[in-house]
Amino acid sequence: MVHMQVQKDQVNVRIKTESAVITGIVHTMVNGRLSDYITSHVGKFIPVTDAEVMYLEKSLKNLEEKGVKREVVFVNVEKIEMIEYL
């Protein structure tokens, strides 16, 4: 069996949703624009790898004061309030 691998760019981002701020890596097509990637995933979830999640609610914040590290988190594109390059 032949395995094909699609080349991707790794984009360091900070994403704000209504409940958390996620810092990590979004994998886009080579030379692709982040905005095009997000737009093409409306109604879906995008993976963010090497993620750190900072919860905005005080009750959840007490779980981990400096944020929660995860190998991958899935973010609902429709819940993204802001995304910035790092």
What token pair was written down for 59? 């009750």
pLDDT of residue 78: 96
Three-class DSSP category at 67: coil
Confidence class for position 2, pLDDT limits 50, 70, 90: confident
pLDDT in tens, 19-70: 999 999 999 999 999 999 999 999 999 999 999 999 887 655 455 556 789 9
Domains of the chain with bracketed CATH: 8-85 (2.30.30.100)
The whole-number pLDDT of residue 13 equals 98
Rounded to whole angstroms, the Cα distance separating 23 from 25 reads 7
Report the pLDDT value the prediction gives residue 66, as an integer from 0 to 100. Answer: 63
| pLDDT at residue number 1 | 74
What pTM, to 2 d.p., does this model score? 0.84
Torsional sign, CA 10, 20, 68, 75: negative
